[in-house]
Amino acid sequence: MEQPPRLVRFTYWFGAVVDGAMVVPLLFPTVASAMLGLDRSTLGPEYRYAAYLAAALMTGWTALLVWGVNEPVARRTVLLLTVLPSVAGLIAACAYAVTSGLVRAGYMVPVFVVQVVICTLFLGAYHQARGLAGVARPEQSRS
């Protein structure tokens, strides 16, 4: 099997770093408040409980991405699962935060940009890894 292109390995590491960084505002409400323009007085026990659950899941996904670096082509499905359902779910949650008035749109723009970059990068890396694995497209395998 060929050596995976740098893009594939970079994508796993990029995702792991972004995920790891996002654990910080989940664990520290003051950081989330500054990042998203939230009123700190509203970040009570319910918020902390939900944020701590999210931090645990985010940390687990970070570890999964680091695990994927070791065999990036064989574990390429992790790239696809990162986009759907994970990042797609985060995009939906961000849209809810904006449309419900919880977070002003201006605070969410940088988050949305990172999510679009992640989706583009991960789908491109998945496509490359799939090609390296020799997986034929359905129309190619029928001939």
The pLDDT of residue 137 is 64
The pLDDT of residue 4 is 72
pLDDT tens per residue, range 100-109: 999 999 999 9
Instruction: Tell if the pTM clears 0.85, that is, is over it.
Output: yes
The distance in angstroms from the start CA to the end CA of the chain is: 24
Spatial separation of the C-alpha atoms in residues 107 and 128, rounded to whole Å: 33
